[in-house]
Amino acid sequence: MEALATIAAIIIGPLAAVLITNRIEIRRRKFESRSHILRMLLNTRGLPGDPSWSIAINSVPIEFHGETDVMPLWRNYLQAVRFKPSPGNEEAHRLDAVSKQTALIFSIAKKLKYSITENDIQNEAYYSSGYIERDNLMLDSWRALQRIAHCQEEFLKRIPATQA
């Protein structure tokens, strides 16, 4: 009986160690992946045009699939940002989208057991003025390029075909 127990321990011990280690590694990777999504959301929450924001938002259903405390808030956020407000309601719409964004990020942070408040998420972000100016200048430049192209098209329409 003692020999049988020893043989079982020799076989089961290492097998159990491998299974436990594997389980711990899977949980660690899942946590790291989810934490990465949270970091991207927190780092770009005031910059919805940032590609990292889109990547993080689109990764939520992969990383949090089946999480009943996260997925409904993700859907609410998407519904809010896809909605086009009527003229004069833009500010109310923006505030609604920010509120839903905050609720989503907060639910993810809570799921990962980070202690951050909704107020911190909504009000305590830092964006350097240089970065904001650069981003706004880039957006203004893109808008100007559209206007320039439109003006050039109009100009070319007025020139007789023989002169163009």
pLDDT at 164: 55
Task: Please check whether residue 105 is in contact with residue 121, taking contact to mean a CB–CB distance below 8 angstroms.
Answer: yes
Query: SS3 of 126, please?
Result: coil
Q: What is the pLDDT of residue 5?
A: 87
* DSSP-assigned letter for residue 114: -
Tell me the Ramachandran region of residue 127: left when phi exceeds 0, alpha when psi lies from -120 to 50, beta otherwise: beta
Residue 162's pLDDT is 64
- The per-residue pLDDT for range 40-85, each reduced to its tens digit, is 999 988 876 788 999 999 999 999 999 999 999 999 999 999 999 9
Note the pLDDT of residue 161. Answer: 65
What average pLDDT does the segment 139-154 reach? 93
pTM of the model: 0.74
* Domain assignments of the chain as residue spans, ordered by start: 2-118, 127-164
Q: Is 113 left (phi over 0), alpha (psi -120 to 50) or beta?
A: left
- Decide which of 144 and 50 is more confident: 144
- Over the stretch 25-48, which tens digit does the pLDDT of each residue have? 999 999 999 999 999 999 988 876
